[in-house]
Amino acid sequence: MAYFYLGPDREQLFLMPVCMRDWLEESHLAWFVIDAVAQLDTSALDERHPNDGPGRPAYDPQMMCALLLYAYMSGVRSSRRIEAACRTDAAFRVICGGMVPDHATVARFICDQEQALEGLFVKGLRLCHAAGLIDLSVLALDGTKIAADAALDQNRSAEWIREQIKKLMAQTVESEETEAPAPDPLEGLEGLETIAQISTSGGRLTRLEAALQVIEDEEKKASDEAKARAEAAFREAEAGRKLRGRKPKDPAAALARAKADYAACLNRAKARHAPRCSDPEQDPAVKDAQAALASAQQAAEAEPAKAPKANITDPDSRIMKDRKGYLQGYNCQAIVNRHQIVVACAVAQDANDIEQYEPMRDELERNLKSAGIPQEEIELMLADAGYCSDANLTAEGPERLIATLKDWKQRRAARELGTTSGEPPADATPIEAMEHRLRTPEGTAAYAQRSQLIEPVFGDRKQNRGYRRFRRRGLDAVQSEWAFIHLVGNLLKLYRHEQASSLATA
């Protein structure tokens, strides 16, 4: 019996014109993206392009938006790779209608439409709400660290930055005074590059000045906070009370704390020994405080205060610590519902999450109001121990369960202490009351949903989509990119929901 293979006939001519709709099946993701963009309110994308003006016509911003959405859904964020896909990939060609936007055009569109692309996040929530995916019964809040487009070893001190600014200015003045020889146009490019580094908005001088401003602001903030802490400590010391809480690690702050503790012990000893007129300096507690003060004094002299630094590539980024070590990046926050739809997102520069609970609550309220979604439906907010503080536990807003310990410590404490029931004691502190609620069977079951809601979302963004590093620099730019990333994730959830619904009704 003869065997043969089915081989391609690359010289075959098409007898009828080819229709792009024949290239992709009707349920393809590309058609969904095109339909979704048509339903979104994209009027903000048109504001930069008047009806008539000089130059050639711009690409349709709705087409560019659909192109970016599909590219991000496919894990492609490089503008050059997007341009290449528009030449070879059938789905990209369908979205662009056979046109091939240049990589520079794609990159400029992202920069120019920064605010408009960020605003599409809330408009995407309206589509998800219409499909029944905005369930606000239980929400989970968490943060993850995303690397900036900057290296960790590019953090410099204020002294180094000032020296570089002086050198750059001196080189520029010298290049302007030097006449470039006319015969060879390539000569003098170093001087031209130096001038461009100063004159352009993204030049080196601008970034150095921004980094210097960051250092000066942080120094002023740290000085004000240290002064406020010292004043509070000595007010307590006058009453013979020591400050509660963990002692600071910074030698200068630890020395100020030790002085306040010594003053508090001395005042308390004077009050105790006043009737007997004995020497309060001989009190054992005073001696211990005096020894701690001497030790703090030696530590402060042996280890001078560290000079603050800023990143000269992306001054808005900060040094963050994650489970793998340190990175130069941002603290990216998100609130997720039962369907793993992100209903609020933001980017913070603080390495810790403790200051992000109330800003994220406010961001959630603004998003729901803009999307026309009733806020009264929020029943419970879940957050891990990184958000635990008296202020967050007692802040206004929906009911919440915030862990007081890390997850594994929380589970161990529950095994050792057992379960509770009913309302917490009337005299319990906010943290004690939360510990009581978390140890009830209802609280344990409710808090167990937190990791199931939020962790898969971050895993999808970072592992499946490859969003481990931002492509642009600056807080406003990464905020826009973070919102667009979650718009992509929400639309993918909506696409799969519609596909499952169509299969169920078929």
Q: What is the mean pLDDT of residues 180-196?
A: 46
Spatial CB neighbours of 335, under 8 Å, sequence gap ≥ 6:
139, 140, 141, 342, 343, 344, 345, 360, 363, 364, 381
Name which of 30, 59, 56 is nearest 46 in CA terms: 59
pLDDT in tens, 64-112: 999 999 999 999 999 999 999 999 999 999 999 999 999 999 999 999 9
Helix-helix angle 114-130:29-39, to 10 degrees: 100
Which pLDDT score, from 0 to 100, does residue 55 have?
A: 72
483-498 pLDDT, tens digit each: 999 999 999 999 999 9
Q: What does residue 154 show for φ and ψ, rounded to 5 degrees?
A: -100, 25
Least confident stretch, 208-222, 225-239, 307-321, 401-415: 225-239
* Residue 258 burial (10 A CB sphere; 0-12, 13-18, 19+): buried
Whether residue 483 contacts residue 345, with contact meaning beta carbons closer than 8 Å, is answered with yes
Where in the chain are the domains? 20-112, 134-149+314-483, 155-307
User: What number is the average pLDDT over the span 115-140?
Assistant: 94
Mean pLDDT score, 205-232: 80
Question: For 247-268, what is the mean pLDDT?
Answer: 73
**Nearest CA to 86 among 68, 60, 108, 113?**
68
Return d(Cα 204, Cα 466) in angstroms, integer: 29
Average pLDDT over residues 393-415: 83
Q: Which two tokens stand for residue 280?
A: 């309060």
Write down the pLDDT at residue 193: 45
**Contact between 322 and 312 (Cβ < 8 Å):** no
pLDDT at 190: 47
Residue of higher predicted confidence among 422 and 54? 422
**Does residue 315 carry a pLDDT above 70?**
yes
* For the chain, percent of residues with pLDDT exceeding 90: 50
Kindly report, residue by residue over 281-299, the tens digit of the pLDDT.
667 777 777 777 777 777 7
The average confidence (pLDDT) of the chain is 84
**Spatial distance between the Cα atoms of 184 and 187, rounded to a whole number of angstroms:** 6
Looking at per-residue pLDDT, the higher value among 376 and 479 belongs to 479
Return the closest-CA partner of residue 475 out of 202, 148, 170, 201: 148
What is the per-residue pLDDT for 223? 74
Backbone angles phi, psi at 322, to 5 degrees: -125, -170
Backbone phi, then psi, for 242, in 5-degree steps?
A: -95, 150
CA distance 20 to 93: 9
DSSP 326-346: EEEEEEEEEEE-TT--EEEEE
Residue 398, exposed/middle/buried by CB under 10 A (0-12, 13-18, 19+)? middle
Residue from 277, 238, 279, 273 nearest 259 by CA: 238
Is the full-model pTM beyond 0.75? yes
**Structure-block tokens of residue 297:** 């004094």
Work out the average pLDDT over 179-194: 46
Compute the C-alpha angle 209/213/217, nearest 5°. Answer: 175
Q: How many other CB atoms are there within 10 angstroms of residue 261's CB atom?
A: 23
Q: Output the CA–CA distances (angstroms, integers) from residue 491 to 72, 73, 126, 398, 478, in the order listed.
A: 11, 9, 11, 27, 20
pLDDT of 275: 59
Judged on CB neighbours under 10 Å (0-12, 13-18, 19+), 445 is exposed
Q: Do residues 94 and 70 lie in contact, with contact meaning Cβ atoms separated by under 8 Å?
A: no
* pLDDT at residue 33, rounded to an integer: 96
